[in-house]
Amino acid sequence: MFVLISIDLEGCAGVVHVDQTRRGGADYERARAWMSREANAAALGAFDGGATRVVVNDSHADMRNLLFEELDPRVEVISGALKPLSMVQGLDAGQPDAAFFVGYHGGAGLRASVLDHTYYGAVVGEIRLHPAQSAADDPGLWVDEAAINALVMGEAGVPVALVTGDEAVTAHASERFPGVTTVAVKASITRYSARSIHPDEACRRIRAAASEALRGLARVKPYTLPAPIGVTVSLLATAYADAAELVPGVVRLDARRVRYVAPSAREVLRAVLAITKIAGTVVV
């Protein structure tokens, strides 16, 4: 059994501030150690639950945060950026039987979720998905990184069996991903404060939940939406939208919103990456 683990940092126990998530920031080294331990706990739980192969994809920022010496030697690690599939790189390294999302956080625009953002926090206000022919004023479905990544996995027939992070992301995962197991390691108070369990306890719970998730894998179903899918990105400044409009196929809806109609979930992800990366080149 092959399990792909996507590990982020903002949703790990004890992390509440951007300084902890940026290379060179205060407490970054400690936070990356917590991240590495949570990734390892999920991997150990996967092996406990019957996995024979575990690939961990470092999915935070420059994607080279994991401390390899903290990981079980049976684990394979994907690190570095750019990656064509970003946070779900590894999907094409053989067909995973299940995916785990560990250390995940709430999406951009979500109240009371520590360090909420969706892919590029400096430029994205929120992201919504729509039926391809929906009107510009259709509110659509608000999505976070977990939902976008789960759609890419689901399109390939891979279910998300485990999601860990703050209470905001785990609550949305429970609503959307059929049969998913979740572990909330902290309860967000504001964007920069939370009540967290101890990192040791977080690892204990994650390992137990990972094993349980695999043992109950038959009840877990892939998360899908009918294609084509319209993806609307609300940007934080008009200059970002000016730049995003240069991406072929992107349509400007108003001052700060752009939309792209994607033929597949994988193309939704690629559109989000292209829009946010080109928007992020603008100085405002």
Which CATH number do you get for residue 134?
Answer: 3.30.1360.130
Pairing of the two strands 98-104 and 2-7: parallel
When pLDDT is averaged across residues 238-267 and rounded to a whole number, the result is 97
pLDDT for position 6? 98
Residue 96 falls inside a structural domain: yes
Predicted pLDDT of residue 25: 95
CA distances, 68 to each of 46, 57, 58, 157 (Å)? 18, 12, 11, 29
Instruction: Determine the Cα–Cα distance for residues 21 and 30; give it in Å rounded to an integer.
Output: 10
Question: Do 231 and 94 share a structural domain?
Answer: no
128 and 153 share one domain: no
| Boundary (domain end) residue, out of 219, 236, 269 | 219
Mean local confidence (pLDDT), 23-50: 97
Rg (CA), the chain: 18
Q: Measure Cα distances from 141 to 126, 138, 198 in Å.
A: 11, 9, 34
% of the chain beyond a pLDDT of 70: 100
* Residue 164: C-alpha distances to residues 46, 103, 117, 234, 256 (Å): 14, 6, 16, 26, 32
Over residues 11-39, mean pLDDT: 97
- Are 214 and 257 members of one domain? no
Residue 181 lies in a domain: yes
Report DSSP letters for 52-106, one per residue: SEEEEEE-STTS----GGGS-TT-EEE--S--TTGGGTTTTSS--SEEEEEEE-P
pLDDT computed for residue 273 by the predictor: 98
Top-confidence residue, 136 or 13: 13
Q: Which residues are annotated binding-site positions for Zn(2+)?
A: 8, 10, 60, 105, 145
Identify the domain boundary among 188, 219, 250.
219
Is the residue at 253 inside a domain? yes
Q: Which of 204, 219, 234 is the last residue in one of the domains?
A: 219
Q: Which domain holds residue 88?
A: 2-106+144-219
pTM metric for this prediction: 0.97
pLDDT mean across residues, the chain: 97
Give residue 212's pLDDT: 98
Q: For the segment 123-180, what is each residue's pLDDT rounded down to a tens digit? A: 999 999 999 888 878 889 999 999 999 999 999 999 999 999 999 999 999 999 999 9
pLDDT, residue 244, reads: 98
Query: In the chain, how many domains are there?
Result: 2
**Same domain? 100 vs 234:** no
What is the pLDDT averaged over residues 64-80? 98
156 and 275 share one domain: no
Residues acting as catalytic residues: 117
Say if 115 falls within a structural domain. no
Q: Which two tokens stand for residue 51?
A: 């996995």
Whether pLDDT at 278 is above 90: yes
Residues 275 and 149 in one domain: no
Q: Are residues 137 and 151 in the same domain?
A: no
Domain assignment present for 119:
no
- Determine, yes or no, domain membership for 111: no
Q: By the 8 A CB rule, do 16 and 200 touch?
A: no
8 Å CB contact between 72 and 44: yes
136 and 150 belong to one structural domain: no
Could you tell me if 72 and 209 lie in one domain?
yes
- What pLDDT does residue 134 have? 85
Residues making up the binding site = 8, 10, 60, 105, 145
Q: Amino acid letter at 115? A: L
Distance from C-alpha of 11 to C-alpha of 37, rounded to nearest angstrom: 13
